Amino acid sequence: MSIYFDKVPPQNIEAEQLVLGAMLIDRESIPVVMGILQADDFFREGHRLVYSAIIGLFERGDPVDLVTLAEEFRRLDELDRVGGLPYLAFLITSVPTSVSVEHHASIVKEKALLRALINLSNRLVNRSYEGREDIQVLLDEAEQQITEISQRGVMQSFASLQDILLETYDRLQQLQEQGNRATGLPTYYPDLDRLLGGLQPGELILLAARPAMGKTSLSLNIAQNVALRAKLPVAIFSLEMAKEQLVQRMLCAEARLDQGRFRTGRLAEDEWVSLTRAMGLLAEAPIYIDDTPAISVNEMRSKARRLKAVKGLALLVVDYLQLIQTTRRFENRTQEISEISRFLKALARELAVPVLALSQLSRAVEQTQDKRPNLSHLRESGALEQDSDIVLFIYRHDYYFADSDKPNIAEIIIAKHRNGPTGSVELAFLKEFTKFVNLLKEPMPG
């Protein structure tokens, strides 16, 4: 069903003719147009055929002119479908110069995008009237298809080395002016920021550990630091814990309250004062939590896009990635985790924010003598290591060894750093408060 069935779809036949004519009189126009248009962007079927034939001749290295084009259509038995030899000749004579071919091609592209939006809208209207699909699935698909249409209108081309060098030089000057400050989003753990340079936009940062090491606590501490100290918006997708549990942890960390006492409500007067102060601070923090269990990749992408558009976004936290649902079936779990890993990396680049994704480690860690994790312990997929820009592990010696000489100390191991050094830093872990705090120590080089 079309709502406006009596209306002619957006088109500009004259612009289509001028584009094709320019391609026929000036071979150098062909790659210019190829960077803007596809055959389906032309409204007239004949023009789609002419465009495809021109591209075919060009890619084979053959001359592109009236004679070769007509011969190509005779070979395909399609000369009459494009209007015959007179129409091909008209295309050539109708354009005096190719100087405006890029502008005319942009007009054709604009009309094609409008038609694509109309077609999508009509399909959505039909499916909405039928009412047989889950509304969230329909909304996710609609947003994804609109994004695909918008991306069709974006022309990405090569960047010259000169331009890249100038951008690099400007960036280096900015870094010099910043001194020792983190160049990316700071975690506010100075030793960690010195090694990482902060969390960079577009990066996938994997935070992995065995259960009870403090993955969720560290990710929440970083989120709170960014929101409270930098006053930047943070999104948290919590697939394992309810939002109320996360907020409870945040309150205990901020107020330094014992979780056990918090859960019973048996707080001393000074603890109530600390709690009230922490609630006031966190109430102003731009932290947004979604605790949808088993959220799909499409729903996560859709929600993250909307949040960035409405509130802005500086950091995205996912707890944890093995619980994300994919939209299709896979032969095995390894392939599915690989798909999730690629999705998270693509999401980081699309949103231009760091994505901090939590991950489980395999039980093989427990079988080693020192219990220290390494990259081979990443669970279920080597793609996690490949797609991640940074891989962090949490290791607590006192968790495994009762006679540990490092009680309440957590080692944050930088096992992979695509654009910088590896190594490790030590933080104090205040377990009763679910809080990591800085130590007055230098990072240990890797």
Q: Is residue 168 part of a domain?
A: no
Task: Verify that 192 and 128 share a domain, yes or no.
Answer: no
Decide if 313 is inside a domain: yes
Which pTM was predicted?
0.64
* 417-427 per-position pLDDT tens digit: 988 888 989 99
Q: What is the CATH number of the domain that holds 300?
A: 3.40.50.300
Task: Dump pLDDT digits (tens) for 71-83.
Answer: 999 998 999 999 9
**Single residue among 152, 171, 206 that ends a domain in this structure:** 152
Is 383 within a domain?
yes
CATH classification of the domain holding 64: 1.10.860.10
Residue 353: φ, ψ to 5°: -135, 155
Which range (21-25, 59-63, 109-113, 391-395) has the least confidence? 59-63
What pLDDT shows up at residue 164? 65
Q: What percent of the chain has pLDDT over 70?
A: 90
348 domain-assigned: yes
Is there a catalytic annotation at residue 240? yes
Q: Are 398 and 378 in contact (CB under 8 A)?
A: no
Structure tokens at 288: 């947004």
Domain boundary among 106, 133, 152: 152
List, for residues 45-69, the tens digit of each pLDDT value: 999 999 999 988 888 888 999 999 9
Reply yes or no on whether the pLDDT at 19 is more than 90.
yes
pLDDT of residue 284: 85
| Model confidence at 94: pLDDT above 80 | yes
**Tokens 């951008």, residue?**
167
Query: Cα–Cα distance between 306 and 325 in angstroms, integer?
Result: 20
Kindly state whether residues 189 and 144 are assigned to the same domain: no
Q: Is residue 8 part of a domain?
A: no
Query: Over the range 401-426, which residues count as b (16 or more CB within 10 Å of their CB) and which as e?
Result: eeeeeeeebbbbbbbbbeeeeebbbb
Residue 107 sits in which domain range? Answer: 13-152
> Is 319 in contact with 215 (CB distance < 8 Å)?
yes
Point out the catalytic residue in the list 240, 271, 385, 432.
240
Which helix H or strand E contains 301, and what residues bound it?
helix 297-311
Q: How many domains does the chain have?
A: 2
Quick check: is 74 in a domain?
Answer: yes
Q: Is residue 145 located within the same domain as residue 194?
A: no
Residues 294-312: pLDDT tens digits?
888 877 887 888 888 888 8
Average pLDDT, integer, range 340-347: 87
Note whether 294 and 436 are same-domain residues. Answer: yes
Ramachandran category for residue 95: left, alpha or beta (phi over 0 → left; psi -120 to 50 → alpha): beta
On whether both 147 and 189 belong to a single domain, the answer is: no
Q: Are residues 373 and 297 in the same domain?
A: yes
User: Residue 175 has what pLDDT?
Assistant: 59
pLDDT per residue as tens digits for the range 220-268:
999 999 998 889 999 999 888 888 888 888 888 888 877 777 777 777 7
| Residue 160 in domain | no
